[in-house]
Amino acid sequence: MNFLKTKSAYLDTGVWANKAMKEAKGFGETICVASSKDKNYTYIPKGYVIPSDADYFHITTNNTIYGTEIRYDMDSPVSLIADMSSDFLSRPTDISKYDMVYGGAQKNIGPAGATFVLIKESFLSKIATETRHIPTMFNYKTHIENDSMFNTPPVMPIFTIKETLKWLKSIGGLKKMEAMNIEKAGILYNAIDSSSIFVGTAEAESRSLMNICFVLKPEYTEKENDFLDLCKAKGMSGLKGHRSVGGFRASTYNALPMESVLALVEAMKEFEKSL
């Protein structure tokens, strides 16, 4: 609504990417440069062409439901906009490559209720106020001009974000966070890859460090609930995969300690032995 004047470009890598593209269609021409829908979003497409006359190119850096992630800061011939809801602050990011980054706070930085939007000043001047009426509340300029207090801000979530950011700094910042995330996800992916009953759903080179999706091999699928029950008995819940993928999803966001990863790996081994 703020930036589409004549044409926009989208990379369709999952439900959230697709929903963003669907909304854009209501405001002008929208090009889908590539989609991984053909394989239930299990990979990040490559080798696509971004139209050089688009107002912006929109990506979703981490696809929460499918466990795929764009873990690099890409070059784009047009303004790059990224939904970073589920991997923001999980690694050092070259923010200069993006004209806008946005997301919900509720994965890595705080509780639900707060959102973050970063916009380059040069991009802000491109807001499409001459193309359409943008309601005051929806215009990003309104929030910048009012120091993010145009409406009553959710003070508790914002306070919690401040405390989380202090914690992030205290452990050594984003470099350290990335190293911890690589280690946690690595242990879990290794456990999946070396298992004779579990298998990962995302293509290896597109794998996310934040959401690790895996299923039981077809011959064991009927045992899915047994594994969830075993996890529950050990105090682990929320491991059921999204209904569109099935199986299991272990979210290893910044806040998840290594102990939790080790506990899950232990449970996976125990379950495998029991079969």
Ligand X SMILES: Cc1ncc(COP(=O)(O)O)c(C=O)c1O
Active-site amino acid positions: 16, 83, 107
Q: Report if residue 86 touches ligand X, rule: CB under 6 A.
A: yes
Q: Report if residue 99 touches ligand X, rule: CB under 6 A.
A: no
Cα-flanking dihedrals φ and ψ of residue 81, to 5°?
-120, 130
Contact range with ligand X by CB under 6 A, out of 50-58, 81-89, 135-143, 184-192 = 81-89
Nearer to ligand X among residue 61 and residue 195 (C-beta): 61
C-alpha 268/C-alpha 247 separation (Å) is 13
Two structure tokens written together for 259: 């102990």
Nearer to ligand X among residue 16 and residue 150 (C-beta): 16
- Please report how close the Cβ of residue 53 comes to ligand X at its closest, in angstroms: 27
Two structure tokens written together for 217: 């091999």
Contact with ligand X (CB under 6 A) among 12, 69, 83, 178: 83
Phi-psi region of 246 (alpha: psi -120 to 50; beta: other; left: phi over 0): left
Contact with ligand X (CB under 6 A) among 85, 139, 164, 181: 85
- Please report how close the Cβ of residue 83 comes to ligand X at its closest, in angstroms: 5
Contact range with ligand X by CB under 6 A, out of 35-43, 56-64, 133-141, 165-173 = 56-64
Contact with ligand X (CB under 6 A) among 28, 45, 104, 246: 104
Helix axes 155-170, 173-193, angle to 10 degrees: 90
Two structure tokens written together for 167: 């914690």
Tell me which residues in 244-273 interact with ligand X (CB under 6 A): none
Q: Report if residue 16 touches ligand X, rule: CB under 6 A.
A: yes
Q: Report if residue 111 touches ligand X, rule: CB under 6 A.
A: no
C-alpha 194/C-alpha 1 separation (Å) is 47
Contact range with ligand X by CB under 6 A, out of 78-86, 136-144, 216-224, 263-271 = 78-86
- Please report how close the Cβ of residue 14 comes to ligand X at its closest, in angstroms: 7
Residue ranges binding ligand X (CB under 6 A)? 16, 60, 62, 64, 83, 85-86, 104
